Amino acid sequence: MLLIPAIDLKDGHCVRLKQGEMEGATVFSEDPAAMARHWVSLGARRLHLVDLNGAFAGKPKNESAIKAILKEVGDEIPVQLGGGIRDLDTIERCLDDGLTYVIIGTAAVKNPGFLHDACGAFPGHVIVGLDAKDGKVAVDGWSKMTGHDVIDLAKKFEDYGVEGIIYTDIGRDGMLNGVNIEATVKLAQALRIPVIASGGIANLKDIKALCAVQSEGIMGAITGRAIYEGKLDFKKAQAEADKLSGK
């Protein structure tokens, strides 16, 4: 079980949001590259970046911070980025800069043809982020609910050739009230590609609960607020996950 620290970027700073609300951002670091180094030094084997300004603007806006992170740690571990990735040129630029994976969210739901093209042009590098509440997918920074069933959509994207699915229960993200294990397992069981859990990780108990269902197809979990606020000791949590996974 891979624990993946999240570095959410807003105006060049590392922040965390509660339930996607930009106004409620808490700044945790003025130096995202140093924050990336910090997590790698504690044993992170992948990093999850989100360009929050980019997600709202529809194109990447924190490129200098992203490049600084890649310069700092990009040769050592895979780095993935979501937020504002809406066209093939942007994907190409991201991969050229040294990112391993791009995460397509809203654009995958609204423009599946773009996702299909992206999977064809950049095989092995495209992950889809699906944000859902009560089994239905949300888009546009969680501001709009769609009628799409999350499992049906994920199966369609699997057929396109996406590398994996990041599944966020938007009722829980940034709230530290536990992962929606049941919904995450249900999704993973329906797919052949791996699922990464996201949203709500609060403590070691959540990590243990995810490790218990890892064999269903859950390869990792993204963690943010809990590790920044010290409620989850990242190094200990990854060691515990490795032990429970038999590593």
| Vertex 184: Cα angle to 142 and 37 (nearest 5) | 75
What Rg, from alpha-carbon coordinates, does the chain have? 16
DSSP of 113-172: HHHHHHHHHSTT-EEEEEEEETTEEEETTTTEEEEEEHHHHHHHHHHHT-SEEEEEETTT
140 is catalytic: no
Residues with Cβ within 8 Å of 67's Cβ and at least 6 positions away in sequence, in order, are 97
CA–CA distance, 156 with 12 (Å, rounded to integer): 35
131 is catalytic: yes
Q: Catalytic one among 8, 169, 173, 206?
A: 8
CA–CA distances in Å: residue 20 to residues 75, 114, 217: 30, 24, 27
Q: Confirm if 135 and 149 have CB atoms less than 8 A apart.
A: yes
Q: Catalytic one among 131, 169, 173, 206?
A: 131
Residue 111 is which amino acid? N
Catalytic residues, which ones?
8, 131
